[in-house]
């Protein structure tokens, strides 16, 4: 190797050294590649010579590809760890919020069960915990059913009042008009077929009732021409059919 070549290799090594690498060899001309060793990771790699000369002059940056890849992977791992930690924190927060919501719901539920309520049907004060019936509006299933039956009947009566109707209709007058005979089964209706249970009068199957030949739900009217006498059993069966 001539003196000029040794000086040139020394200049290349100086450039490489200034960039933070060790020169291994391979220099032939300024357009060729040289082999260097990274001082951080100890790996060797090839790069075009002018990259180191420009880097030594501050015109560009020169990095070890292995170190750069390792740094990128490190940042990726850090981001993955951050995302995982964030997901775990969010999962813990969700679990905590659910536990707090459940605690509030349990507390509100017990408060509701122990509070005093007024039955919409009978007006009696009651406590759900004592009655055992899970309703804030009714003290029992019986009161709830009666209330809904009342609402249903009120709606039915509203429909009747909106149509032509006879205001003088009574069950007694209809019983007298039809001779007390059920027009469906032909049997005599019995006024005495009624019993009292817990203060409530309950009609039997033979008790007389007013039946609308054309049901109110289908456009029938509450007039003498559209009503006939029927025993409670036949009237109920007709309503179910």
φ, ψ of residue 111 to 5 degrees: the values are -60, -40
- Given the structure tokens 């002059």, which residue do they identify? 57
Res 138: pLDDT:
86
Single pTM value for the model: 0.40
Q: Return the H-helix or E-strand segment holding 203.
A: strand 200-203
Which pLDDT tens digits describe the chain residue by residue (241 residues)? 444 555 577 877 887 888 888 888 888 877 788 888 988 888 898 888 777 777 777 777 778 888 888 889 999 999 999 999 999 999 999 988 888 888 888 787 777 777 888 888 888 888 887 888 888 888 888 888 888 888 888 787 777 677 777 888 899 999 999 999 999 999 999 999 888 877 778 888 999 999 989 887 788 888 899 999 999 999 888 865 5
Res 5: pLDDT:
57
Please give the Cα distance from 34 to 50 (Å, whole number).
10
Answer CATH for 163-240 from 1.10.10, 1.25.40, 1.10.30, 1.20.1250? 1.10.30
Check: CB of residue 1 under 8 Å from CB of residue 26. no
Residue-level length of the chain: 241
Res 144: pLDDT:
87
Domain locations along the chain: 3-63, 163-240
Check: CB of residue 49 under 8 Å from CB of residue 34. yes
């Amino acid at each position: 190797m001539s003196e000029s070549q040794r000086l040139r290799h020394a200049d290349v090594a100086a450039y490489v050294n200034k960039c933070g690498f060790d020169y291994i060899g391979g220099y032939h001309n300024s357009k060729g590649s040289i082999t260097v060793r990274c001082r951080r990771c100890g790996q060797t790699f090839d790069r075009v010579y002018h990259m180191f000369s420009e880097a030594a002059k501050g015109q560009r940056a020169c990095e070890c590809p292995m170190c750069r890849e390792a740094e990128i992977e490190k940042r990726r791992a850090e981001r993955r760890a951050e995302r995982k930690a964030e997901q775990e924190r969010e999962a813990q927060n969700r679990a905590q919020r659910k536990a707090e919501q459940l605690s509030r719901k349990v507390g509100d539920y017990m408060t509701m069960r122990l509070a005093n309520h007024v039955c919409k049907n009978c007006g009696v004060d009651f406590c759900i915990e004592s009655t055992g019936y899970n309703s804030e509006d009714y003290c029992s299933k019986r009161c709830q059913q009666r209330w809904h039956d009342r609402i249903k009947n009120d709606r039915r009566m509203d429909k009747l009042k909106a149509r032509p109707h006879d205001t003088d209709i009574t069950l007694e007058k209809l019983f007298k008009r039809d001779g007390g005979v059920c027009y469906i089964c032909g049997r005599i209706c019995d006024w005495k077929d009624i019993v009292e249970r817990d203060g409530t009068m309950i009609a039997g199957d033979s008790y007389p009732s007013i039946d609308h030949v054309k049901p109110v739900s289908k456009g029938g009217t509450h007039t003498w021409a559209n009503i006939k006498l029927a025993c409670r059993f036949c009237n109920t069966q007709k309503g179910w059919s």
